[in-house]
Structure 1
Amino acid sequence: MEKKPCLWIIIPCYNESEVLPITAPMFSDKIEQLVQAEKIAPDSRILFVNDGSKDDTWEIICRLSAENPRFQGICQSRNRGHQNAVLAGLMEAKERCDITISIDCDGQDDINAMDQMVEEYLNGCEIVYGVRSSRETDTWFKRTTAQGFYKVLNGMGAEVVYNHADYRLVSSQVLQAFADFHEVNLFLRGMFPLVGFKSTSVYYERHERIAGESHYPLKKMLALAFDGITSLSVRPIRMVTGMGVIVSILGFIGIIWAIVVALMGKSIAGWASIVCIVCFLGGIQLLSLGIIGEYIGKTYMETKRRPRYIISERTEELICDKKA
């Protein structure tokens, strides 16, 4: 009899006390359906990653784990961001399962897409990307900026899957290879395509958030977008070089023009042209320094080799303590 793959669903959580009691049973039911359909092993699990929540999210995770052994949880020592929380869950699970599926706990991503994800894995794919088929539930502004974001990333040379966030199936083989990526500045949706292996996409409709509020306001989305560009591509630096060359050529032409006019005796004093040139060059220089500084800052953080996550508690340990 063919061995069924063990699946761990990785769910990052930050201040999700309102939605977690609603979606946790949904994830459990989906695991049970896949087990009954003989697609995954009965010892498959659901791993919640508490990302330093300030509400009672961790208490809810501990209660769920005590009531149902299928639920497990780890707690980070402090809030480290969504990408680090997902990474912590993946690294925790890579030695314990055959496949993982990372998904947010807000109920927006269609959990029924997991059936096709597992099917694609059984057909030989090591990575299966969950891709939104449309963005009708988004506002016009969010839809336009998100689509522009993916186009800019691809234009900058970063290899990303269009309309894919962090809903994906990844095999333990891929995770073993991914463990050799030691970046502190994480942008997972752009890093997994770098690992390689056979991959495909599964398309699904995204829903409205079931409860609670979004933890990704415009400021965080812009920060994630900028991290994605600067973490995966050096093209902005090359663009700065290109701008420098263009401005230098224009400046050289201006110098020749000024000398010719002076020799012809037609030069006149004028502050407007000087101010415009100084402001233009000053703006270009500040922009260039800012982009270069961003890369230097990222290099500085990488050289420190600080841990990307620190796990302070595990529900397994709590259960063992109670038994002892």
Structure 2
Amino acid sequence: MTIDEGYGGMYPRLSVVVPVFNEEDVLPLFAERLRPVLDGLLVTYEVVAVDDGSRDATPVVLETMRRRWPQLRIVRLRRNAGHQNALTAGLHRARGEYVVSIDVDLQDPPEVIARMLAAAEGGGLDVVYGVRADRGTDSLFKRWTAESYYRLMRRLTGTAVPHNAGDFRMLSRNAVNALLDLPEDRPVYRLLVPWLGLPSGEVPYARAERAAGRSKYPLAKMVRLAFDSITGFSAAPLRVATWLGCVGIALCFVMGGAVLAAYLWGNVVPGWTSMFVALVFLGALQLLCLGLLGEYVARVFTSMQNRPAYVVTFDSAAPSSRRPVRVPS
């Protein structure tokens, strides 16, 4: 096992990784729901709460909870690294034979974890996805964008991405180690996990409304996630740029032929409209192609920098460690 052995002690049967960012309102409610579920499983467990650079009272709430909940473990990042990187930090630190990732907003019910563990142990599965069978609490726009995202990802990546499966899933130690061995600087786990091709199953559940606080995934972050998904798993945008260039060249030939025919027929009317439209079209096409190419170059540049995706400043499982623990991206 490639589990961090620096803390000593026995490895728990189950680890629950919870990325947290400015969630002071919902954390007590989350603990009230999660702890009875985990205690009822009658297995050893740990809850790895990754504080992703929170700027509210979240660190204080977590410390208060840890005094009353010995299985709660706090991993604090120096700055906000983003949801997927916080999830990566939790996966690196989790020591369980099975690892569940779940958000703190209670839209994904903790009670489903028991069914996930039973499915994994009973079926010898490495991955168990929590699948949102009912998204009635989501807005029409959210449901439409989610449907479009999963359909597009399946078409572009050629991977059997489970429909309506977000970041609520259970992984075996074998699956976690396989993920951590991948050299991803911008991981998108809802695509990386299916890409592994490990034995998997699904557990359906009804998605609830956020228990408290505000969503930390606004439209801008959703678009960024979609763009990282596309550029990280497919070269299709580059091919789109190539095809757009071919279409542009074909249109230029057509327009050139029309201008030549008009000249031969003596029907040339001085004007700037056609020239203006052609220049704007070709200019926009070139900028689009350069932008798509730039996205891929930026990913290569970021990878070459080899900077850490996150910096851990505190881990309650290693209270004697004062120096920040740096984990490469």
After TM superposition, is the score higher than 0.5?
yes
- State the shift of 1:30 in Å: 0.8
Size of the aligned set, in residue pairs, is 310
Which residue matches 1:31? 38
| Cα separation, 2, equivalents of 1:30 and 1:319 | 31
1:163-186, Cα deviation, whole Å (9 max, x unpaired): 111000011111111112121112
Query: Which residue of structure 2 aligns with residue 220 of structure 1?
Result: 221
Alignment partner, residue 202 of structure 1: 203
CA distance in 1, matches of 2:270, 2:178: 66
1:252-267 residue pairs with structure 2 within 5 A?
252-267=253-268
Take 1:18 and 1:87, find their aligned partners in 2: how far apart are those partners? Answer: 24
Give the direction of change, closer, same or farther, for the CA distance of 1:158–1:17 in structure 2 (3 Å limit): farther
Q: How does 1:173-322 map to 2 (within 5 A)?
A: 173-318=174-319
Provide the C-alpha distance between the structure 1 equivalents of 2:258 and 2:273, rounded to a whole number of angstroms: 17
> Does 1:6 pair with 2:6?
no
How far apart are residue 260 of structure 1 and its match? 4.2
Task: Work out the percentage of aligned pairs sharing the same amino acid.
Answer: 35
After TM superposition, the score normalised by the length of structure 2 is 0.89
Cα deviation 1:229-273 (Å, max 9, x = unaligned): 122211111111111112112222333443344345443323111
Q: Could you list the per-position Cα deviations for residues 135-184 of structure 1 after superposition, in whole angstroms to 9, with x for gaps in the alignment?
A: 21011222222212222222323633221110000111111111121211
2-side partners of 1:21 and 1:294: how far apart? 40
1:259-291 deviation line (CA, Å, top 9, x unaligned): 344345443323111111111111111121111
CA distance in 2: counterparts of 1:211 and 1:264, whole angstroms: 72
Structure 1 residue 302 displacement after superposition:
1.3
**Shift of the alpha carbon at 1:227?**
1.6
3-state secondary structure, aligned to 1:316: coil
What SS class does the counterpart of residue 149 from structure 2 fall into?
helix
- What is the alpha-carbon root mean square deviation over aligned residues? 1.9
Distance 1:158 1:49, change over 3 A: farther
Preserved CA contact (<8 Å) 1:66 1:319: no
Structure 2: which 5+ runs fail to align? 1-10, 323-329
Decide whether the 8 Å contact of 1:62 with 1:315 is kept in 2: no
Alpha-carbon distance in structure 2 between the residues aligned to 1:260 and 1:211: 68
After superposition, give the CA deviation of every residue in 1:48-98 in whole Å (9 maximum; x if it has no partner). Answer: 1100000121222222223222111100111101111111101111xx221
Q: 1:196 and 1:140 mapped to 2: Cα distance?
A: 32
Name the CA shift for 1:5/1:14 in 2 (closer, same or farther; >3 Å). closer
* AA in 1 matched with 2:131: V
After TM superposition, the structure 1 = structure 2 runs for residues 130-209 of structure 1, keeping only pairs within 5 Å, are 130-157=130-157, 159=159, 160-209=161-210
2:6 match: none
Amino acid at match of 1:197: L
- Calculate the TM-score normalised by the size of structure 1: 0.90
Q: Which stretches in structure 1 are left out of the alignment for 5+ residues? A: 36-40
Partners in 1 of 2:53 and 2:158 — Cα distance?
Answer: 30
Deviation of 1:298 (Å) = 1.5
Q: Distance in 1 between matches of 2:318 and 2:119?
A: 35
Report which stretch shifted further, 101-110 or 148-157: 148-157
> Per-residue deviation at 1:318?
3.5
Residue pair 1:13, 1:50 contacting (<8 A) in 2 also: yes
Q: Which SS does the other structure have where 1:105 is aligned?
A: coil
Aligned partners of 1:46 and 1:71 also within 8 Å:
yes
Correspondence for 1:110: 109
